Amino acid sequence: MIDQAFISATRQRSDRFMGLLFAALAWASVAAALILVRAGTSLGLGEEIALGAGTAFLVTAVANTALMFLWTRLAARDRPGA
């Protein structure tokens, strides 16, 4: 017999974990972008390289945020009755 309560609880835990993971990755990317843009030259990077890498991390943060919203939508769509 399939325990629907167990499946529902596991799915909620998984959804919460994935949301937190994408949010943490987005915040980490924003932090890395800020560090590279503000202190890239003192870390031994050229100004142009630091700005490029910072922009890449910022784009990664935007992509992680978009994935977080997409994951939430897909997870809600897969639920019966949602």
What range does the domain containing 62 cover? 22-76
Q: Say how many domains are in the chain.
A: 1
Q: Which residue has the tokens 């019966």?
A: 80
- What is the pLDDT confidence band of residue 60, given thresholds at 50, 70 and 90? very high
Q: Is residue 81 part of a domain?
A: no
Q: Is residue 7 part of a domain?
A: no
- What is the tens place of the pLDDT at every residue in 7-40? 888 888 988 898 888 889 999 999 999 999 999 8
pTM of the model: 0.76
Q: Is residue 32 part of a domain?
A: yes
